[in-house]
Structure 1
Amino acid sequence: MTLEQRISKETITDFFVDLQARICRALAEADGVGQFREDAWERPGGGGGRSRTLADGAVIEKGGVGFSAVHGEATEATLRALDLTNQEETPSFYATGVSIVLHPRNPMVPIIHMNVRYFELSTGHSWFGGGIDLTPHYVVAEDARWFHQQLKAVCDRHNADYHPRFKTWADDYFFIPHRQETRGIGGIFFDYLKPADAVHKADLFAFVQDVGNAFAPIYTHFMHQNRDLPFGEREKQWQLLRRGRYVEFNLVWDRGTKFGLETNGRTESILMSMPPQANWTYDFRPEPGSREEQTLNLLKKGIDWV
């Protein structure tokens, strides 16, 4: 059996199961107070998953680390999304992955999101997707550089073109058009990574594994570094406004959220990314020269942090 043949959906699923467990252990240890609660669920059409959530931790106010492995007949909405509506027969699909969103208690600790996933059809099509992006409530240049350097190092171990390509993809994807601002400072985002002449499935899987394995060290770094930084009511109110922007992106623009809801996915797991509280203030304008204004000025595409 060749290496390519050994990279089966079962092999990939097993990695994602283990990844979820390892990330939850690392986050609970770094938090020191919060513990994950597991909610196992089944999908009526086939498969299921387990959503692990943490609330009221010392650092993490609300967070979720979800795993899923679902299968069944591809719906019309699925085929439209994949531009595969011209199939003679309706194919079956298998999809598995890990998705994470963490909302911290301290406004000086950033929000983070990660998703790594694998999808295959009975037609023989298969691909990987995913990425990691960071949403600081206050953008600190030193932290932004460090974050992007970690992701560049992951990408560069596999392909020198990955980081510039996937960093631009993240800038474009995590953008709120009706606000004309990015959701945060970006990161990397990729989708429909398929085996090709020079890139084998094993190579793509190794890259996705590295992305998943990078998550816990990156975020626990910010947890330890920023958890005890001082803040007051002004910073807390700003945090709630930034969470509001996060909600706007996820509900209005995020393809994954909309696709999940449109295809009758599990609502609780899909909306696990929502913060515990968020605010909207009519026509809010930050004080000139303030840290809030400085942050808004850095929520733009194309900033070269490395």
Structure 2
Amino acid sequence: MINKEQIAEDYKQIQDEICAALELTDGKAVFEEELWERDGGGGGRTRVIQNGNILEKGGVNFSAVHGHLPDTLKRALKVDQDDFFATGVSIVIHPNHPMVPIIHMNIRYFEMPSSFGSGKEPLRWFGGGIDLTPHYVFEDDARYFHRYLKSVCDACHHDFYRRFKLWADDYFFIKHRHETRGIGGIFYDRLTAGDDLTWDEIFEFSKALGRSFIPIYTELVNKNRDKVFTPEQQEWQYQRRSRYAEFNLVYDAGTKFGLETNGRIESILMSLPPAAKWFYNYQPVPGSEEEKTLSLLKKGISWV
């Protein structure tokens, strides 16, 4: 059966693959790497790319951390063990082009090692997801994105896409704006082995999701990177980035987990865009592409 060391090593390999492919796609910028250690135990590899031909700011981060779980998180996770281990890869890319979407992906594994040797089954689970935040929603791109994710899900379990798409719609929702962050994707948490799937099969799904990032994003980047845009469309991009920042700072569970477990601040907040704007009471022009995009930022849209 898989163990946490193997999971961490395979996640590091996925980080390497994604960074190499993103550098090739951009054609100019390269990742800067910073190795770090967490005071409570473990550490990671933060990799940031900036000021590229198309990638204005992005991070592809790996971490494997362990230590004492704060009481606030024990209550939130509804667990009573004291120690934890968590590893994963987290990605956010902010392009400099308003026709190229923001993308986020996360694959992760969590366990409570203190349960080992107690005669009880270890508490462990996988989580993750990928979602797309277009500044302008192009319906063909949205269908491509969701169909690709469905193919990844279907290869593991016939009901994963339906379940995880609904979960993403609910999770990536900006409640105070009454709109979704983007066009969703898939999201799952506390996925464990059971009657349908073994631990190895769930791990293979996690890796397949991680390796879906490059074919998906390179397709969307290369399709849209040469489109001409206006200063007004760039201003709209900055406005949409502000919504992204609001979600990550107010609702994102990964951000909260990192901050509450003494994580590395620069790595946690690399998800924020390099520049964003908050326009007072912005109202799109009726019939505009901006109005169309807002009309598609809602739950329950079927893209497949």
Instruction: Judge conservation of contact 2:73–2:260 (CA < 8 Å) in 1.
Output: no
CA offsets 1:74-111 (integer angstroms, 9 cap, x no match): 22122112101xx3xx4321110000000001100000
Partner of 1:66: 61
What is the aligned-residue identity percentage? Answer: 58
Work out the CA distance in 1 between the residues paired with 2:228 and 2:196.
Answer: 50
Partner of 2:35: 40
Partner of 1:251: 249
Work out the CA distance in 2 between the residues paired with 1:198 and 1:162.
Answer: 12
Match of 2:103 among 91, 99, 112: 112
Work out the CA distance in 2 between the residues paired with 1:34 and 1:193.
Answer: 36
Partner of 2:203: 205
Match of 1:277 among 256, 275, 294: 275
Instruction: Judge conservation of contact 1:26–1:216 (CA < 8 Å) in 2.
Output: yes
CA offsets 1:138-190 (integer angstroms, 9 cap, x no match): 00100000000000000000111000000000000000011000000000000
1:264 is displaced (CA, Å) by 2.2
| Number of residues of Structure 1 aligned to a counterpart in Structure 2 | 297
1:94 is paired with a residue whose SS is strand
- What are structure 2's unaligned runs of at least 5 residues? 116-121
**2:114 is equivalent to residue 93 of structure 1:** no
1:298 is displaced (CA, Å) by 0.3
Work out the CA distance in 2 between the residues paired with 1:77 and 1:197.
Answer: 32
1:200 is displaced (CA, Å) by 1.1
1:203 is displaced (CA, Å) by 1.0
Work out the CA distance in 2 between the residues paired with 1:261 and 1:82.
Answer: 15
- In the superposition, the TM-score normalised over structure 2's length comes to 0.96
Residue identity in the other structure for 2:181: R
1:256 is displaced (CA, Å) by 1.4
1:112 is paired with a residue whose SS is strand
Instruction: Judge conservation of contact 1:39–1:52 (CA < 8 Å) in 2.
Output: yes
Work out the CA distance in 1 between the residues paired with 2:19 and 2:266.
Answer: 19
| 139-148 or 253-262: bigger deviation | 253-262
1:213 is displaced (CA, Å) by 0.7
Residue identity in the other structure for 1:169: W
Residue identity in the other structure for 1:46: G
Partner of 2:215: 217
Work out the CA distance in 2 between the residues paired with 1:25 and 1:235.
Answer: 30
Work out the CA distance in 1 between the residues paired with 2:72 and 2:267.
Answer: 19
Partner of 1:242: 240
- In the superposition, the TM-score normalised over structure 1's length comes to 0.96
Work out the CA distance in 2 between the residues paired with 1:220 and 1:24.
Answer: 12
Partner of 1:51: 46
2:232 is paired with a residue whose SS is helix
Work out the CA distance in 2 between the residues paired with 1:264 and 1:18.
Answer: 25
4+ residue runs over 4 A deviation:
none
1:1-306 map, 5 Å: 4=1, 7-84=2-79, 87=80, 90-122=81-113, 123=115, 124-306=122-304
1:263 is displaced (CA, Å) by 2.8
- What are structure 1's unaligned runs of at least 5 residues? none
CA offsets 1:22-81 (integer angstroms, 9 cap, x no match): 000000000000100001100001100010000000010000000000011222122112
Work out the CA distance in 2 between the residues paired with 1:234 and 1:34.
Answer: 26
Residue identity in the other structure for 1:110: P
1:222 is displaced (CA, Å) by 1.2
